[in-house]
Structure formats: C-alpha cells, structure tokens
C-alpha cells in the first residue's frame, strides 16, 4: 500500500481528476495549499504598489492505493502536469502505508483501500 | 391627474392635526409636507452611507480585523448622533453668535413650542427634521477617521477621540459656515460639506494616521513598500455603491427643501462627478500601475462625489464632469504619494475625503462666477488649522495617557481577537479548488 501525495497547479485539477477516473482510481482527497517551488515569483499590484507573491496557490492531492495502482496514478498526474522547461510545476511523493482501516466495516489493509 | 389627486389626498390625510388648526389645508401646507418628506428621505439616505463606510472599510482591510472595524463603524454612528443631541446641534447652530463660537445650550427641544410648525424654516422642514438630518452628517465626519487608522489603533482611544471630535470640533467648525458664522459672512461657500464634513474628517484622519504610525511590515528598508491586501473586494464594492446611493441624500438633502429645479440639478452634478471620478481614476491607475485597479476606481467614484459636494448646486453639469474627473486623478496620485511619505492609510480615506475635499472646495471658486477662489482657499486654510490643532491635541493626550496603539503581538494576531476575543469569519472558509 502506498500513499501518493501530488502537489499540482490548481487549474490542472479537473484534467488530473479525469485521468484518474479513466484509470479506475476513484478515491482521493484534495486540499487547497500554498507552496513555493523553483518558479519565478509572480508580480501582483495593489493600490499602485507592485509586490511579489512567492507562496503560490497549489492543490494537494492525496491518493492511497494498492501497490499495483501506483504507476497508473503517477501516469495520470504526469500526463497532465508535465511540461518541459516550466519550473515550479509541482511534485509527486510516494510513501509506504503501515495500515488502513475502513471506518464503516472495520476492514483493514489492502481490502480497506480498494 | 388622478395620481395628483390621490397624492394630495394622501398628503391631506397624513399631515395630522398641527396643520389643520385653521381648517382647510393650503398649498403652502402641502409644500411643507412635500419638503419635509424629502428631507427625511435624504436623512435615511445619509444613514445608509454608514453601512457603505462599514462595508468599504471592512473590505479594504484584513480579515483578522473585521470585527474591530465593524465595531468602530457601529459605535461611531451611535456616538455621533447622541453627542449631536447633547451639544453638537446647538454648537453648530447657536443662532445669534460672535461668528467663532456659540452655544445655545444642552439638549434639543423644539424652540417654538410645536415641532410641526411651518414657520421654523419657511415651510422647508421641521425643527426635528433639521436636527436629525444634521445629526447624520455629524456621524459621517467622525466615521471617516476610522478607515485611516484601521488595523492598529486601540479601540478605546479611537472611541474617545471620536466622541470629543464629533461633540466639539466638528460642530464648532461647522458653525463658521452653516451656523452663519464668520466664514459665511465672508462669502465662503460649501454646499453640502466638501470641507465642513469631508475635510474636517480628513484632517483628523491624517493626524491619526501619522500619530498612530504605519502598520507593521508596511514600509520596509530602502523605501520598500509592501502592500497589505484588503480581504474582500466584493464587500468594498458594495460599500462604494451604498455610499454613492446615500450621496443623493447627502447632496440632494442639502438643498434643504424639495425645490424641483435645484434638487434635480444637484442629482445630475453629483452623478456626473461620481462617474467622471471613476473614469479619472481608471485612466490614472491603468497608466501608473499598468493594470486597472478596482480599489482605485472605487476610491475614484468617492473622490468625484466628495469633489462635487461643495458646489453641487452652483457648478454646471459639464463642469461637474471636470471636477469629478480631476478628483479621480488626484485620488490615485494622492494614495501613491501618501505611501511614499510613509503615511499608512489602509482605505484611502485621507486621499478621498481630505485631498478631494480641498479640491472640491477650491473648485467652487474656479467654476462658479459668484464665488471667490481666495475666500474658498481661506476657508480651506482656516478649517485645516482648526482641525489640525484640535486633532493633534486630542490624539497627543491619548497617546501619552492610555496609548494610541495596540501591542505588536495583538496587531499580528489581529484586533478581532485582541480587542474583542471574537472572530469575524468563524466556521467560514472559501475553497478555490473544484
């Protein structure tokens, strides 16, 4: 079992979601996030003064899957988000999961994730 | 025709017993009722400007200070109206006086026995209408200060300042012109208060912003300015629309009767100036910042309105466009310039009310042949000195007694928690992902 955390651009979320569903991955959690990567800071103007925004809006995707789905998830995210030469696109982290419990039934492990 | 008859019938029915002493109502009685009704409509239009101020100030400041700014705005109208009843009205309209300071006594009572008597103001309005209309104005002047010192002033100090300022400084200053004092004798003209209301509030806002100091982090080293973003542009926009709406009472009611010719002219000049203010600010902010700034055109409409307020009944419609347009340009340049001077005004109150108030007062001298520019300038200077001295005195006493500013920790956490132990958006979160 793996937990995949992907930090992506907010505008990519609908497309990533579609790609995940195409690959039969239906269970995921998203949160609003702010992050700072290698991108050039964005300039904004407020009442005549321009200022740099370094912490930019991102979306954080969390997907817990059984091992055989890891590649499909990575593919679903990268097929949308990969862009050569454009810094600060985001990252994917893959972590092992010790256990997983489905609240409704009390099932554990791979059963509970799927 | 039928409509007119129905209207007259309603008026006849509504007038009540005070007019019917001599039996048949006269045309003068009907005019009295119409005039008085318009003045009361204007009064509640000015009242709604307080919701405008509250919304605008809340929108242009940070979410962690929203309870505090709303608290101030609600308190101010209460303080303004109560002090005006206790002493303000009789300081501002003392009757016969030396032209500089007069006081007709505490409290309000109808001086001629009956509040409904037609003779009080030549059939234009009653004594109580006079009081309540003017009381709304007094509260407006006080609320201008609130935005300029927002996000760092101690609530108690602010409330004490406002009470003293609106109870004494505002009405005494007002008596010089509207109370038929010395500036009125010289021919100074301020129709609805570019100077008497807006600059009077604006001078205090300037002094307050300087003495209380800038918000933490606003001005960095080497002249670097870090903007502190307002948290709710829709709320700020609602506020400006409400202020614009209320201005029809502010200027329209300042005709002091329902005179069709003058009231409709005032509506036209007021609207044209506001519209031109938006365009002036739009062009200026687009040119200066390379992008059109919503908060600047919001200030621009208010700038146009403040600008035309002194001469709304004596400046021609086409010149009112010019007055508003120039006000719109001035307000943007002033907001940027004040930041360069490190005078931190989160909502642009000083630029809108003081700077454009001065411009509007001088514009009467420029665009109206009957009024002299030098007398207008004298009025600006006289009011400036009086209000500066008054507000420096009050703010300084507060600074060295209970203190003007909240602690650094409180400012960072926010005044909502610091001053009120209360959140403005409990349980409310905006999601941007879909």
Which of B4-18, B68-82, B403-417 shows the lowest per-residue confidence on average (mean pLDDT)? B4-18
**What pLDDT is attached to residue A38?**
82
On whether any CB of chain A is under 8 Å from the CB of B113, the answer is no
- Packing angle of the helix pair B260-289, B233-252 (nearest 10 deg): 150
Beta bridge partners of A30: A61
Cβ within 8 Å, pair B434-A46: no
Is the pLDDT at B17 greater than 80? The verdict is no
**What pLDDT is attached to residue B428?**
82
Please state, in angstroms and rounded to a whole number, the distance separating the CA atoms of residues B36 and B8.
15
Is the pLDDT at B23 greater than 80? The verdict is no
Beta-carbon pairs below 8 A across chains A and B: 46
Reported confidence tier of residue B3, pLDDT bands at 50, 70, 90: very low
Percentage of chain B beyond pLDDT 90 is 82
User: For B313-337, what is the mean pLDDT?
Assistant: 97
| Residues in A touching B233 (Cβ below 8 Å) | none
Closest CA to B360 of B198, B194, B235, B205: B194
Q: CATH number for B36-420: choose from 1.10.240.10, 1.10.3470.10, 1.10.3430.10, 3.40.50.12780.
A: 1.10.3430.10
| Residues in B touching A14 (Cβ below 8 Å) | 434
- For B65-123, the DSSP string reads GHHHHHHHHHHHHHHHHHHIIIIIHHHH--SS--SS-----SS---TTS-TT-TTTTTT
Beta bridge partners of A4: A63, A94
Mutate to test the interface with B, among A33, A41, A48 (most CBs of B within 10 A): A48
Question: Per-residue pLDDT tens for A9-29?
Answer: 999 999 999 999 999 999 999
**Mean predicted lDDT score pLDDT of chain B:** 92
pTM of the model: 0.89
Nearest to B432 among A32, A49, A51 (CB): A32
Contact predicate B347/B298, CB 8 Å: no
Nearest to A49 among B227, B431, B434 (CB): B227
Structural domain spans, chain B = 36-420
Closest CA to B236 of B47, B67, B45, B51: B51
Please state, in angstroms and rounded to a whole number, the distance separating the CA atoms of residues B33 and B35.
5
On whether any CB of chain A is under 8 Å from the CB of B336, the answer is yes
Cβ within 8 Å, pair B432-A48: no
Give the chain B residue whose CA is nearest to the CA of A60: B433
Structural domain of A40: 2-113
Closest CA to B282 of B270, B269, B294: B294
A52 vs B1, residue with greater confidence = A52
On whether any CB of chain B is under 8 Å from the CB of A47, the answer is yes
ipTM at complex level: 0.76
Please state, in angstroms and rounded to a whole number, the distance separating the CA atoms of residues B2 and A108.
82
DSSP state of B290: S
Is the pLDDT at B6 greater than 80? The verdict is no
Cβ within 8 Å, pair A30-B226: no
Question: Per-residue pLDDT tens for B68-107?
Answer: 999 999 999 999 999 999 999 999 999 889 999 999 889 9
Please state, in angstroms and rounded to a whole number, the distance separating the CA atoms of residues B386 and B172.
10
Nearest to B293 among A30, A31, A45 (CB): A45
Residues contacting residue B390 through CB under 8 Å, at least 6 positions apart: B165, B168, B169, B204
Give the chain A residue whose CA is nearest to the CA of B291: A45
Question: Per-residue pLDDT tens for B363-396?
Answer: 999 999 999 999 999 999 999 999 999 999 999 9
DSSP state of B179: T
User: For B227-231, what is the mean pLDDT?
Assistant: 93
Which of A100-114, B75-89, B184-198, B350-364 shows the lowest per-residue confidence on average (mean pLDDT)? A100-114
Query: Is B299 in a helix, a strand, or coil?
Result: helix
Beta bridge partners of B257: none
| Residues in B touching A48 (Cβ below 8 Å) | 285, 288-289, 293, 296, 332, 335-336, 339
- For B230-276, the DSSP string reads -S-HHHHHHHHHHHHHHHHHHHHGGGSS--HHHHHHHHHHHHHHHHH
**What pLDDT is attached to residue B9?**
42
Cβ within 8 Å, pair A51-B291: no
Total residues found in chain A within this entry: 114
On whether any CB of chain B is under 8 Å from the CB of A10, the answer is yes
Is the pLDDT at B112 greater than 70? The verdict is no
Which of B15-19, B100-104, B218-222, B367-371 shows the lowest per-residue confidence on average (mean pLDDT)? B15-19
**What pLDDT is attached to residue A114?**
76
Is the pLDDT at A43 greater than 90? The verdict is no
**What pLDDT is attached to residue B5?**
45
Closest CA to B88 of B154, B22, B187, B178: B178
Beta bridge partners of A50: A45
On whether any CB of chain B is under 8 Å from the CB of A30, the answer is yes
| Residues in A touching B225 (Cβ below 8 Å) | 49
**What pLDDT is attached to residue B80?**
95
Chain B: closest CA distance from residue A63 (Å): 17
Mark which residues 289-318 of B lie under 8 Å from A by CB: 289-291, 293, 295-296
Which residue reads 């309540």 in tokens?
Answer: B132
Reported confidence tier of residue B117, pLDDT bands at 50, 70, 90: confident
- Sheet of strand A2-8, all strands in order from the earlier edge strand to the far edge: A29-35, A56-65, A2-8, A91-96
Please state, in angstroms and rounded to a whole number, the distance separating the CA atoms of residues A60 and A55.
14
Nearest to A48 among B332, B431, B433 (CB): B332
B257 vs A53, residue with greater confidence = B257
- Which runs of consecutive H residues, i.e. helices, occur in B166-230? 170-175, 182-186, 200-212
On whether any CB of chain A is under 8 Å from the CB of B285, the answer is yes
Nearest to B295 among A14, A47, A59 (CB): A47
Instruction: Report angle CA A48, A53, A55 to the nearest 5 degrees.
Output: 155
The rounded radius of gyration (Å) of the Cα atoms in chain A is: 17
Own/partner pairs for B337-343, CB < 8 Å, 24+ apart? B339/A47, B339/A48, B339/A49, B339/B225, B340/B223, B340/B225, B342/B214, B342/B218, B342/B219, B343/B206, B343/B209, B343/B210, B343/B214
Nearest to A48 among B230, B336, B432 (CB): B336
CATH number at residue A38: 3.30.70.120
**What pLDDT is attached to residue B7?**
44
| Residues in B touching A51 (Cβ below 8 Å) | 226-227
**What pLDDT is attached to residue A52?**
85
Is the pLDDT at B11 greater than 60? The verdict is no
Structural tokens at position B174: 């007002």
| Count of the separate structural domains present in chain A | 1
On whether any CB of chain B is under 8 Å from the CB of A22, the answer is no
């Amino acid at each position: 079992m793996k937990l995949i955390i992907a930090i992506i651009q907010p505008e990519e979320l609908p497309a990533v979601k579609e790609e995940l569903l195409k690959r039969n991955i239906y269970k995921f959690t998203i949160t609003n996030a702010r992050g700072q990567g290698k991108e050039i800071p964005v300039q904004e103007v407020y009442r005549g003064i321009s200022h740099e925004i370094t912490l930019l809006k991102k979306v954080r995707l969390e997907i817990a899957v059984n091992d055989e789905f890891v590649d499909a998830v990575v593919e679903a995210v990268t097929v949308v988000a990969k862009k050569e030469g454009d810094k600060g696109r985001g990252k994917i982290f893959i972590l092992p999961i010790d256990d997983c419990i489905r609240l409704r039934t009390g099932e554990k492990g791979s059963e509970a994730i799927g | 025709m039928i409509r007119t008859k129905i209207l007259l019938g309603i008026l006849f029915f509504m007038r009540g017993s005070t007019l019917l002493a001599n039996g048949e109502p006269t045309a003068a009685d009907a005019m009295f009722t119409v005039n008085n009704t318009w003045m009361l409509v204007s009064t509640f239009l000015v009242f709604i400007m307080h919701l405008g101020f509250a919304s605008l100030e809340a929108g242009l400041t940070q979410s962690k200070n929203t309870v505090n700014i709303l608290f101030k705005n609600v308190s101010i109208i209460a303080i303004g109206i109560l002090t005006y009843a206790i002493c303000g009205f009789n300081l501002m309209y003392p009757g016969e006086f030396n032209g500089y300071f007069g006081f007709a006594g505490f409290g309000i009572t109808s001086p001629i026995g009956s509040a409904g008597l037609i003779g009080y103001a030549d059939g234009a309005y009653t004594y109580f209408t006079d009081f309540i209309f003017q009381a709304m104005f007094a509260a407006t002047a006080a609320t201008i200060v609130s935005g300029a010192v927002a996000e760092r002033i101690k609530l108690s100090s602010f409330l004490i300042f406002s009470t003293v300022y609106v109870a004494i400084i505002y009405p005494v200053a007002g008596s010089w012109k509207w109370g038929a004092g010395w500036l009125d004798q010289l021919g100074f003209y301020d129709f609805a208060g570019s100077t008497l209301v807006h600059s009077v509030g604006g001078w205090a806002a300037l002094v307050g912003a300087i003495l209380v100091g800038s918000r933490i982090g606003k001005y960095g080293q080497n002249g670097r300015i870090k903007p502190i973003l307002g948290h709710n542009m829709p709320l700020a926009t609602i506020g400006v629309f409400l202020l614009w709406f209320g201005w029809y009472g502010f200027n329209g009611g300042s005709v002091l009767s329902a005179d069709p010719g003058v009231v409709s002219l005032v509506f036209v000049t007021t609207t044209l100036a506001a519209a031109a203010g938006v365009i002036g600010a739009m062009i200026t902010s687009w040119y200066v910042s390379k992008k059109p700034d919503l908060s600047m055109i919001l200030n621009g409409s208010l700038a146009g309105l403040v600008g035309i307020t002194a001469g709304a009944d004596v400046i021609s419609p086409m010149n009112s466009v010019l007055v508003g347009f120039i006000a719109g340009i001035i307000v943007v340049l002033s907001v940027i310039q004040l930041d360069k001077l490190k005078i931190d005004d989160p909502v642009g109150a000083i630029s809108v009310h003081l700077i454009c108030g001065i411009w509007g007062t001088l514009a009467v001298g420029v665009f109206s042949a009957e009024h002299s520019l030098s007398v207008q300038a004298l009025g600006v200077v006289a009011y400036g000195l009086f209000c500066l001295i008054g507000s420096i005195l009050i703010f300084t006493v507060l600074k060295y007694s209970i203190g003007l500013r909240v602690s650094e920790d409180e400012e960072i956490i926010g005044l909502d928690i610091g001053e009120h132990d209360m959140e403005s958006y409990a349980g409310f979160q905006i999601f941007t992902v879909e």
